[in-house]
Chains A and B, each alone.
Chain A
Amino acid sequence: MIQIERLHKRFGAKTAVEDVSFSALDGQITGLLGPNGAGKTTTLRMLYTLLQPERGRILVDGIDAAREPLEVRRRLAVLPDARGLYKRLTARENITYFGQLHGLAPSLLRQRTDQLVHALSMQDIADRRVEGFSQGERVKTAIARALVHDPRNIVLDEPGNGLDVMAMRGLRDFLRQLKGEGRCVLFSTHIMQEVAALCDRIVIIAGGRVVADGTPAELRDLAAEQSLEEAFVKLIGAAAAGALA
């Protein structure tokens, strides 16, 4: 479970994240939705302890990220915005490297890698060098690499970026499978359809603030719109108007 409380972050004079609070529960998929530059990536980077918040608190399974960053990282799988792989290593070697950094025993690591290769249908690319992989194959490898230590909480920053329809569909099935295993899945996106198809709970961020938080049905009601897309446009529009006023 991930709890984020009243997070603030500034870069110089610019406030990137202001008073952001939300929770992502186990056995649910939570979508962090917002336009580009809304503060999604910055919020997630604070969650996985790459950035230090100026104020606020982050709890992962009840553990404070500011006090025990290494323990929090151990409990998270992260697919960051930057997902560079080592192109001179094979997919399996890339996954193994991160598993070793997590301190997994060799036999367990081999078992986990085989599981992930199977779950993400990577059998035919697992022992090829990453150089020359398609975007979809890269994302799969990066996800497998992030999940190698079998954590309860999964954080993905714009996982759909650059994926074609089939790859996206595969990814959705995989996230549902993770949810079915009782894990907490949190992902960010600026694409409406991704959240609509997948999320149990949606947090809408605009201009560094949370403007709405609820189930898809609740959000439709909140904006008094039939479609989620209209609700989204209306909610972030209201935030933008509020910022101007």
Chain B
Amino acid sequence: MKPALVVYLKECRESLRDKRVLLNALLLGPLLGPLLFVVLLRFALGHELDQAERPLPVVVIGAEYAPNLVSALRQQGLQPLAAVPDVETQVREQHVRLALRISAQFADDWRAGRPAQVEIIYDSSRRDGSQFDRLRSMLENYSLRTGAMRLIARGLLPSVGNGLLIATRDQATPQARGALLFAMLPYFLILTTFLGGMWLAIDSTAGERERQSLEPLLINPVPRGQVLLGKMLAAASFSLTSLTLGLLAFAVAARLLPVQRMEMSLSLGPRVMATILLLMLPLLLLIVIAQMLVSAFAKSYREAQTYVSLLQLVPLIPSIALSVLPLSPQLWMYSLPLIGQQLAMLRLLRGDSVSVLPLAACTLATLVATGAVFLIAQRVYQSERLAVNA
């Protein structure tokens, strides 16, 4: 039996007897992401849907000057609230969300065919901009309608008043809209990969050193690269298990979401899952060996835990960059480990296919990076300092 295989089997056996590893790698890691995801999304989606259907409460000042306007707005879902004194202050102090002031001259201007003034009083620093937009579009609708009627009354075609005819045609497919929603999913999956292998990566390196079993182990007539390889593969196995469970959990979670109501769908079928697993395999090795390298510099288990937790934030950077910057994926981006996988996963989840070339570039580049980090780790594990630090 190859020494790496001996080390691999021993690490797996030992870890399977460790409740803490099992709990973190096989339960918390895979489940925490999907659970958090479902709760957050249900909340966000529910909120969004309700807002569009619910009546819009607005404080209306001077409703008596324009009863026709108010009743037209009421038909569009506006719910007029009684006027309050000093409405500007009330809005600033967030007692009132949105107010509409109709000027006393409204009726005179209206009758004279002059633009009649209405004011929207709102606070743009409040998070909920959609209410303001709704009120504004209600008023614009009313304005256009009455404008058109006035032109007809004067014998003119209403379209004379329109310089432009604007139509918006959203090209997002239902899946694509779903993917926008699920833009964070790749990060959750990468995080699951991190958490799955983390405990073993730390325990079999910094932990082994702290428990003083590293020196006896390294006295065996086995090249250190073999020891490292065995440990890496053991941690990678746990990471892979964690990722598989995480994907399954997400597939179940996707069913619990009200995606149908949003006319969205998310492809997380067996084919997509298998492709994601295959795609993540080299990245998983890279993550695990990076965790082991970082742990090698730590004097204790706890110190290693701190370093590895910081390492965990690294994949967050491309995630945020990809969701904020409107980048269209280029081939060279696929050849960056972490970014390539996230881009490819995003496409796969949208129901798009990813062609062979980007997938190959992504896999190859990640494998090269893994090899490089492995060589560095091997050098570190050759050093005298590492073995005898008691």
Name A's B-contacting residues (CB within 8 A). 45, 48-52, 70-71, 73-74, 76, 78, 80-89, 93, 97-98, 100-103, 142, 145-146
CB of B219 within 8 A of CB of A78, answer: yes
Contact check, B216 vs A73: say whether CB atoms are below 8 A apart: no
B14 pairs with A51, CB closer than 8 A = no
Instruction: Check B213 against A85 for contact (C-beta < 8 Å).
Output: yes
Tell me whether B218 and A50 are in contact (CB under 8 A).
yes
Interface contact A82-B6, CB-CB below 8 Å: no
* Contact for B221 among A86, A93, A102, A142, CB less than 8 A: A102
B17 near A50 with CB under 8 A, answer no
Bound complex: CA A191 to CA B223 (Å)? 35
Supposing A97-B10, A101-B6 touch, asked if A84 and B212 sit within 8 A by C-beta, the answer is yes
Query: Is B388 touching A50 in the complex (CB atoms < 8 A)?
Result: yes
CB contacts between A and B, total, < 8 Å: 76
Give the residues in chain B near A145, CB-CB below 8 Å. Answer: 216
In the A-B complex, list the 7 residue pairs whose CB atoms are closest, starting with the nearest.
Answer: A84-B213, A84-B212, A82-B212, A73-B221, A82-B215, A101-B220, A100-B6
In the assembled complex, how far is the CB of residue A162 from the closest CB belonging to chain B, in whole angstroms?
13
A5 to B222, CA, bound (A): 26
With A and B bound together, what is the CA distance between A82 and B3 in angstroms?
22
Residue in B7, B13, B384, B390 whose beta carbon sits within 8 Å of that of A82 in the complex: B390
Report whether B14 and A98 are in contact in the complex, using a CB–CB cutoff of 8 Å: no
Task: Give, as a whole number of angstroms, the nearest-CB distance from A87 to chain B.
Answer: 8
B18 at the interface (CB under 8 A from A): yes
B197-225 to A contact mask, C-beta < 8 Å, 1/0: 00000000000100111111111111100
Interface flags for B216-244 (1: CB within 8 Å of A; 0: not) read 11111111000000000000000000000
Q: Using known A-B contacts A80-B219, A84-B216, determine if residue A100 contacts B384 with beta carbons closer than 8 Å.
A: no
- List of A residues within 8 angstroms of B3 by Cβ: 101, 103
- Which residue in A45, A51, A70, A83 is a CB contact (below 8 Å) of B216? A83
Query: Is B70 an interface residue, CB under 8 A from the partner?
Result: no
CA distance A82 to B213 in the complex (A): 7
Contact B387 A100 (CB under 8 A): no
9 residue pairs bridging A and B, Cβ less than 8 Å apart: A45-B388, A82-B213, A82-B390, A84-B214, A84-B216, A86-B10, A86-B14, A89-B13, A101-B6
Determine if B216 and A78 form an interchain contact, defined as CB atoms under 8 angstroms apart: yes
Determine how close the nearest CB of chain B comes to the CB of A8; give it in whole angstroms.
15
Residue of A nearest to B213 (CB): A84
Smallest CB separation, B208 vs chain A (Å): 8
B223 touches A70 (CB 8 A): yes
Question: A102 and B220: CB pair below 8 A?
Answer: yes
Is B82 interfacial (CB 8 A cutoff)?
no
B1 proximal to A (CB < 8 A): yes
- Residues in chain B near residue A93, CB distance under 8 A: 13
Residue in B13, B215, B217 whose beta carbon sits within 8 Å of that of A81 in the complex = B215
Query: A45: which B residues are within 8 A, CB to CB?
Result: 388
4 new A-B contacts, CB < 8 A, other than A71-B221, A89-B17, are A48-B219, A74-B221, A101-B217, A101-B222
